[in-house]
């Protein structure tokens, strides 16, 4: 259930995850994505948002992604995640919604991505920006705790890593898959799982 108890549990797990890997001076473009723990629009179950990017976009068109984008000048990852969430999905949150950060993920397309975990306390109506978002999925957190979410037999560190949320109905690849998987492991399960070495498909390199 989307409740204060869930919020406190996620906050505790992220606070305990004190040795975050945040590379500096990598030469990569800084970016941030939002993992927004929200109430599902159809029930009281907690979920996160995943978007299918519009084919109109210049980069990563038609790919699955978390709401986010590159940092503006002197903008923090938290500020960027909140701004991009409002721009892409029409969900407006403030600094108090920030629960914590996961490891920065260095993508092959030239970005150092900071995942920002946010708590959405209200039921705001999704208003996807059609110029950026072709579709928005609400993935229940229980799906992220499914032991079959990632097929580790076929996702070694040398192979492309993917997850298959049932509500999406297809495979989602890294870096998005790796970031969501770390969210499930760290924020939901309380583990200290690392994912930055999981490989990305060639179509995501561009």
Q: What are the chain's domains?
A: 4-204 (3.90.79.10)
Q: What is the pLDDT of residue 204?
A: 55
Rounded average pLDDT per 10-residue block, the chain, 206 residues:
94 86 74 96 92 69 85 93 96 96 90 95 87 91 92 59 91 92 96 85 60
Q: What is the pLDDT of residue 12?
A: 96
Of 139, 171, 165, whose CA–CA distance to 67 is shortest? 139
Distance, CA of 124 to CA of 128 (rounded, Å): 12
Of 151, 134, 144, whose CA–CA distance to 180 is shortest? 144
Q: What is the pLDDT of residue 179?
A: 96
Q: What is the pLDDT of residue 46?
A: 96
Distance, CA of 116 to CA of 78 (rounded, Å): 6
Cβ contacts of 105 within 8 Å, gap of 6 or more: 112, 113, 115, 175, 178, 179, 195, 196
């Amino acid at each position: 259930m989307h409740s204060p108890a869930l919020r406190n549990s996620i906050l505790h797990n992220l606070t305990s995850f004190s040795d975050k890997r945040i590379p500096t001076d990598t030469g990569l473009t800084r970016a941030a994505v939002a993992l927004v723990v929200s109430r599902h629009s159809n029930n009281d179950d907690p979920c996160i948002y995943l978007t299918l990017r519009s084919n109109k976009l210049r980069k990563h068109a038609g790919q699955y992604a978390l709401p986010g984008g590159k940092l503006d000048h002197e903008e923090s990852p938290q500020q960027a995640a909140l701004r991009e969430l409002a721009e892409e999905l029409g969900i407006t949150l403030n600094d108090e919604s920030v629960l914590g950060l996961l490891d920065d993920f260095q993508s092959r397309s030239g970005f150092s991505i900071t995942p920002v975990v946010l708590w959405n306390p209200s039921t705001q109506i999704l208003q996807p920006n059609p110029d950026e978002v072709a579709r928005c999925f609400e993935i229940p957190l229980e799906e992220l705790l499914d032991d079959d979410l990632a097929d580790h037999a076929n996702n070694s560190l040398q192979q492309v890593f993917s997850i298959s949320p049932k509500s999406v109905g297809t495979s989602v690849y890294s870096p998005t898959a790796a970031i969501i998987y770390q969210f499930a492991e760290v924020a939901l399960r309380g583990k200290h799982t690392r994912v930055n070495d999981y490989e990305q498909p060639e179509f995501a390199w561009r």
